[in-house]
A and B are shown apart, each in its own frame.
Chain A
Amino acid sequence: ETGVTQTPRHLVMGMTNKKSLKCEQHLGHNAMYWYKQSAKKPLELMFVYNFKEQTENNSVPSRFSPECPNSSHLFLHLHTLQPEDSALYLCASSQAALARNTGELFFGEGSRLTVL
């Protein structure tokens, strides 16, 4: 296993469902991130965790709930989503949270979410 792994790769859910996205990094990094990627829009940073502590929440609606049990794992719990939440959700990691500003982010392949 190498890099950043995201599961599931595809997810279809109804607006009343509860589901979770999982991310695991095997790079020994201390910071992990959730990004939302929508067509023709810039990548939107959602959450940042540094050493398991949430350091940034970019005004994300509470129907998205992140969890970071350790520096290698990151979850995004989804509940009562809206159709406009359909997007590609990308997980990323870096050596430390500050590194995201002037260093390399390592992205997973993303989880394609469709909300019906």
Chain B
Amino acid sequence: GENVEQHPSTLSVQEGDSAVIKCTYSDSASNYFPWYKQELGKGPQLIIDIRSNVGEKKDQRIAVTLNKTAKHFSLHITETQPEDSAVYFCAASRSKLTFGTGTRLQVTL
């Protein structure tokens, strides 16, 4: 089955800096890669996703890149703000959605 690895497990950045979270997947047939954000006491919420026919997607301060050859994808957050502090999960799917273990992002003032 699919295996998704996510790094780092924790990440601390200063407000205004960029944050990058990386994931690798094992199933070369996976074709859908969403990112979810989970704030304290809340359920995960989809923030951006990318499909295998696209190499990069951007939505305001967040962007996702996909390298199918290397089987890895990354989340980029620019100009980080305190409200970006949360746990971020990547996932990969061909026929079944498989999540990574999460990255706790802390944005400090």
Interface residues of A, Cβ cutoff 8 Å to B:
4, 40-43, 45, 90, 92, 100-102, 104-105, 107-110
Contact = CB atoms under 8 A, between A and B. Distances in A.
Contact of B44 (A40, A100, A101, A107): A107
Contacts of A43: 44, 89, 99
B93 interface: yes
Interface residues of B, number: 25
A110 B42 CA distance: 7
Nearest to B30: A101
Contacts of A100: 97
B31 interface: yes
Nearest to A41: B101
14 contacts: A4-B43, A40-B9, A40-B102, A42-B99, A43-B89, A90-B44, A101-B95, A102-B31, A102-B93, A104-B34, A104-B49, A105-B97, A107-B36, A107-B43
